[in-house]
Amino acid sequence: MRPKQFLALYTENSLFRDTLDRVSGDMFGPALAICNDDHRFLVAEIFREADVAEGDIILEPVARNTAPAIAAAALSIAKSDPDALMLVLPSDHVITDEAGFLNSVQIGAQAAMDGGLVTFGMTPDKPETGYGYIRRGAALGDVAGGFKVDSFVEKPDAATAQDYLQSGEYLWNSGMFLFRAGVLIEEMRRHCPDVVAACQDAVAKGQRDLTFLRLDETAFASSTGISMDHAVMEKTDRAVVVPASFGWSDIGAWSALWEISQADENNNVVLG
């Protein structure tokens, strides 16, 4: 009932609030959160504390992985502006270099404006076996700092991860994306039409409840549960990766939390 995005694990604020604050500047439009129905009041309270008056909250009646969640958000955004740039951020990540993050987003925005489906690849500093990887391809001629995606790779074993690190061609897959809402929907109709059709039905039949958009349960539940990578990014010819280093961690394990936190004289990290 209180997963890690609602915990203060790195700063005084929850990871969710830190993510929201990260996109509160002038270069961003109103925030949109998509969350479990059970977490609606937690999210609404964080929006209120952050003074995000124009933000929107979409409620998932059942869990269906990232592709349907992102599709529902894109369809909601595209109703008013299909050309809107949509930055997708998991709400439980730590980013320590805010300026570096904003710079990477600006590079990604250029590629997304040209019709690319952008993902952000973190430059690895160790042979990590807990992340998926992205192999970058040729540089984009018109976007400095952007590359075509050669391939997505599942989590490797230790020896393979070491090879990836030494090659310099592989990046950690961060799970963050940037694209035009309409372009994503177009690519979903090509590569996972059943998912986007179910989500379109769920949004169309959705009900407004206070500040929430409650997706239609029957329609949304009919969607395949599938990740964004498997549904779209591994199949599209529009995939672009922006290599980045901005102090990123998805805190996927206690060891990861220990690595990014300040240790005491006994090499322990203590919170509280």
pLDDT at 210: 83
Average pLDDT over residues 85-111: 97
Which of the four pLDDT bands, split at 50, 70 and 90, describes residue 272? Answer: confident
In what order do the strands lie in the sheet containing 212-214?
Answer: 32-36, 56-60, 212-214, 207-209
Per-residue confidence (pLDDT) for residue 38, from 0 to 100 = 93
Q: Which amino acid is at 268?
A: N
Cβ contact 229:173 at 8 Å: yes
User: Cα–Cα distance between 191 and 206 in angstroms, integer?
Assistant: 24
Sign of CA dihedral 158, 160, 161, 162: positive
pLDDT (mean) for 166-188: 97
Q: What is the pLDDT of residue 146?
A: 97
pLDDT at residue 41 greater than cutoff 90: yes
Q: How confident is the model at residue 54 (pLDDT cuts 50, 70, 90)?
A: confident
Instruction: Give per-residue pLDDT as tens, 91-102.
Output: 999 999 999 999
**Average predicted confidence (pLDDT) for the chain:** 95
| Banded pLDDT at 128 (limits 50, 70, 90) | very high
Residue 53 in this model has a pLDDT that exceeds 80: no
pLDDT band at 220 (very low <50, low <70, confident <90, very high): very high
Which of 1, 30, 31, 34 lies closest to 214, judged by CA?
34
CA neighbor of 47 nearest in space, from 6, 96, 82: 6
